[in-house]
Amino acid sequence: MADDLRVTRAIAIPGEELTESFTRAAGPGGQNVNKVASKVELRWNPATSRALSETDRAWLLERLAGRITSSGDLVVRASRTRDQARNRAEARERLVELLRAALARPRTRVATRPGRRAVERRLTGKKHRGKLKQARRRSLDD
């Protein structure tokens, strides 16, 4: 594979690191299914990739631990269409989407305090509820 795979602005996987294999796929195609290897299996090893920084590599390996094989490869399969070229493109797109989602860092929460009006509203609601409950009680005169 000669084409590099652009994941983000900063990350591009070199084409030499991607391995594609093709097999015959079940599904649509009629008699053509038995003749053409249209199913694509795209493999990439994030642990040895030059495309990732050490922090990104550690983060990615932790997030995708369940999808990585024992040999360290991340495998994406595509066999939706009859056309090998479209399945190749789909496998590459899936890999990019998977990596973008896995590399996304959650935003750190900034602690905030409720505004004065919100506090007043909460306290007036509590007082109102307390008065309603107090009105339901039996008085000592009963």
Where do the structural domains in the chain lie, given as residue ranges?
5-103
pTM of the complete model beyond 0.95: no
Q: What is the pLDDT of residues 8-51, one digit of tens each?
A: 888 889 989 999 988 887 766 666 667 778 889 999 999 999 99
The backbone torsions φ and ψ at residue 90, rounded to the nearest 5 degrees and listed phi first, read -65, -40
> 3-state class of 41 per DSSP?
strand
**Can you give the pLDDT at residue 66?**
92
5-103 maps to CATH 3.30.160.20: yes
**Can you give the pLDDT at residue 5?**
87
Q: What is the dihedral of CA 26, 83, 19, 42, to 10 degrees?
A: -60
Other Cβ atoms closer than 10 A to 108:
5
Q: What is the pLDDT of residues 75-85, one digit of tens each?
A: 999 988 888 89
Q: What is the pLDDT of residues 93-129, one digit of tens each?
A: 999 999 999 999 999 999 999 999 999 999 999 999 9
With b meaning 16 or more CB within 10 Å and e meaning fewer, what string describes 15-46? eebbeeeeeebeeebeeeeeeeebbbbbbbeb
